[in-house]
Structures are given as structure tokens and as C-alpha cells.
Amino acid sequence: MLSNLLKNLSILKKFLFINLIFFTIIGLLTFIYLKNIQPNLIKKKSSNHIEVINNTIDNLIRLNVKFVEEDIRKFLFSTRFLFQNLDRVIFFDNELNLVGDTDTLDLDPRSFTTRLDTIELEILNDEKTKEITEKKNIDIGTDHSVSLKDILFNYASSKNYGIPFTFTQDEFNKFKLTTIKNVMQSGKNIGYLAITENANDIKAAIDERKTFIIRTAIAVGIVILIFSFVLNRYFLKPIKNLVTYTKTIKNKNVKGANIDTLKLRNDELGLLSNSLDDMTLELQKRISHAENFSTDLVHEIRNPLASLKSASEILHDTNDVDQRIKLIDILSHDVQRIERLITDYSQILKDEVALSKEKIKKLDIEPIVKSVVDDFNNIYKLKRGIKIVYENDKKNKYFINGIENRIEQIIANLLDNAISFSEDNKKVVVKVLKLDDNKVSINILDEGQGFKEKDTSKIFKRFYSNRPDKFGQHSGLGLNIVKNLADLHNAKIKATNRLDQNGASMEIIFPKA
């Protein structure tokens, strides 16, 4: 049940609830401790009383002192050293008459009985006390006002001879401890002995502990409140703002989403806010990219579909052989175009998923370039007589940080683009160079017509319209894919016309490893 309750609470309420539980447990343990500390302190002090009483009784019996005023007075004068650490020692005869008192050694004996009429008593809560107080039905209510003679009378009536009885007195801002025990001689009870000691140190110790505990509890409570405020103000509230931010993004309410204040923080929440905002912007960018891409793809497919529809209608109505051959070529061209679009679009989607799993590592680019060049030479040298030449600047290694199969894809797409613009029996050159700042350059040069565009950055856009005659073999996505992969490797790509002759130059510069 407790776990279910905690599940439905906020972090702040959980924190306060758990602290309340611990606070309650500690409070109960503290109450039990304070409840038991006073009896333990009293018991320790009363044990000293009992030892003094037993020694006094031994001396009384050894000296054969009778429980009369004259003998007790002489005994007190002669054995005063026994009671030097005690506040008061009182002697009673078997009839509970006062026969000696250390407080009245210098006073008239007639004053003895006037000093012990009524005192404030705190009766100790044990079985012996109940037995003694119940003998005369003494009222031990909240005021605990009873006379010492009543206590003595009940103690004498209980017949608990040989068993000492201890109680406390709280009068006139003094806390006193009194222990009573009967005196036996030859098997007969001859009197009673009471020792009273100022026990303010016990009360002071208890009050000191109570004060310390109360102050500690107040301090802990203040610390918990301050910590709760700090927790809510600087941690929980920002987390709630982040939750609100994610909800607004989910509801596509971009205007209502703002965590700029949290992004300025220099702690983990600031890092989380920046990371969350970057992730949101990246997701929005990808969504926008996907939406734009889908729109462009639909537009690109719509043109060949319209051409297919028109050509098929004309083909159905014409009987001219030459005309039918041209229409069939158009149909084949458009089908290739649609097929290539779908294939490349599918490949882009696969690449995006794969890129999120692939890791960039340090690699030598030369064997990768040579492998792709050899593959293209095997295809186009026999097919169209196009020769692809590999050159380098004779440096030992050309290290970059990259993904091997993506580097192959970049070079393959650039070679495919260069060959599509080249005539048969021409040459394509692939150069690998190490620049002065240890950057690596891959330059692909063809002998085609070059670029007509003044702004050559346009060619990297999707479905760029300035295409060669045989563009039905291409989707218009190749150079866009190359640009995206170059960005992934933090590489720069630029397209220019060759200065030494006709043709185009495509160069990718990778940062140093």
C-alpha cells in the first residue's frame, strides 16, 4: 500500500513523506530514550545511597546504637564523615518518630517534626512503589503532593523489610532523590533510615538532552525545508519545464516551447536542456527534410508518369512503326527513371538507419579509392572505352576519420556522375593528395562539357534539373547523397570547371585524422 501511495506522489512529496517517516521513527526512539534515561540515572545514584545506608546500618548495629534522639545525635556527630557527600540523612524510630536529622544538628530537637510535614513527591513507577502507595490510598495524581510520613507509613505497612525504596522530590526548583530503608537488629525492626541528596544534576542532564534534541529537531526541520525549497526551485521545477517542453513539441506547438533559460545553466540540467533542444531541432530538421523529400519525390515521379500515360495513349492509337519505336523508347526511359527514383529513395532511407549505427574510425583512404577505381575500370573500359586513372602525390599514408563503405559510396557516386557526362573513349582521373595541414583531398576530373551553372552548389540539390541526355539512368539524387555523406565526415565538397581543358572537377577535402 505504501509503495502504491509513493508511486502517485511527485518527487518533492515523496522526499517530504520519506523524511516525515524517518523523523517520526527518530522521534519515537528519542521519546523512548528520554523516558528511560531518568530512571537509569536515578538508579545509578540510588545505588550509592543504598551502599551508604548499608554501611550506616552496619555501624549502628556494631555500636549498638539505640533509635532515640540522644544516641542518634551522638552517632551523627561521631560519624559525620560518612555523610559528607550527602545533603541530608534522616533517622526514624519504629513508631515513625523523627529521632535524627543532619540538617538540624545545630538546632533544638523540637524543630525536627516541623520540617517534614508535606513535600512534593514524584513516585517512581515500579511495582514496589504501587504496593507502598496503595496501602493508604495515597493520591499520586498530577500534583504528586504527599507527606514523607505517608510514604514511611506505607513503606512500614508493606513489610518489605530489607528492600530499599527510592523516590524523587521536586520542590522549590530543587530536584531531590530520597532512599528509605528499615533497620533490623536481632530479627526485629528498630527504625528507618532516609537519605536525601540534591539531584539537580539529573534534571539538568535530562533538560540538557531535551534541549539538544529539540534544537536538533528544529535545525533538521529547517534544513529539510531549505533543501526541499532548493530541490523544488532549482531541480524539480526545471524538470517540470522540460516535461512541458516535450509536451509542447509533441503537440506541435513550437511557439510555446522555450527552454532558453535552462540552456544557460552550467550544470547537468543545462547540458540536458541543450541536448534535448538539439535533439528536438534535429528531429524537426529530419521531419522537414523527409516532408520536403517526399514532396520532391512525388513531383519527380509525377512527370514520368504523365509521360508514360501520354506515350501509352499515343501508342495505342498509332500504327506507324517508327513512331511506335520512339514511344516504346520513351516508355522504357520513364520506367527506368521511376525505378531509379524508387531504388535510390529506398537506399537513402536505408542509409539513414545504417548511419545511426555505424561508427567513424581512423582509416587509410588509398586502398578504398583504388578498389572502387578497379571496379569501375572493369565495367566501363570494356563497355564504353572509358579509362579511369588513379594518381597520388607519393605520400605514404592518407589517413582520415570515416566510415569505409560510405567513402566507397562517395567515390562511386562521383565516378558514376563523371562517367555519365563523359563521351566514350575518354579518361577520368582520380587524384589523392595530402595537403599541407594534413588534410586529405580526393579530386575526380572528367573530360566532359563541364558545368554551365555559375553557382555550382546547385548541382548538390535534390532532383537538380540540368541533366545529361541519358539521365533516365539516374535519379538526380547521387550528388545530393554525396553532399550528405561529406557533411557526415565534416568534409567540404566543391565543383568547378577544369582550367587546363574541357571538363569538370569534383573535389572533397577531409579534415586531418
For residue 217, what are the contacts with CB-CB under 8 A and spacing of at least 6? Answer: 23, 27
Domains belonging to the chain, first-starting first, are: 2-206 (3.30.450.20), 359-513 (3.30.565.10)
The angle at the Cα of 353, spanning 347 to 359, to the nearest 5 degrees, equals 115
Task: Look at residue 510 in the predicted model and tell me its pLDDT.
Answer: 92
> C-alpha cell of 219?
535545525
464: three-class secondary structure by DSSP: coil
Reply yes or no on whether the pLDDT at 144 is more than 80.
no
Q: Which residue bears the cell 514511611?
A: 152
Reply yes or no on whether the pLDDT at 100 is more than 70.
yes
Reply yes or no on whether the pLDDT at 129 is more than 80.
no
> C-alpha cell of 141?
495524581
Task: Look at residue 261 in the predicted model and tell me its pLDDT.
Answer: 77
What pTM does this model have? Answer: 0.46
What are 190-208's pLDDT values in tens digits?
899 988 888 888 888 888 8
- Cα-only R_g, the chain: 53
Task: Look at residue 356 in the predicted model and tell me its pLDDT.
Answer: 62
What are 425-484's pLDDT values in tens digits?
889 999 999 888 888 999 999 988 888 877 787 787 766 655 554 444 555 677 878 888
> C-alpha cell of 213?
534534541
Task: Look at residue 409 in the predicted model and tell me its pLDDT.
Answer: 85
Query: CA-CA distances (angstroms) from residue 345 to 278, 349, 447, 474, 476?
Result: 26, 6, 29, 12, 10
What pLDDT band is residue 296 in, cutting at 50, 70 and 90? low
Residue-wise DSSP of 84-110: TT-SEEEEEETT--EEEEGGGTTS-GG
Instruction: Confirm if 161 and 189 have CB atoms less than 8 A apart.
Output: yes
Task: Look at residue 442 in the predicted model and tell me its pLDDT.
Answer: 92
Give the torsion sign (CA, 412, 414, 417, 419).
negative
DSSP 236: I
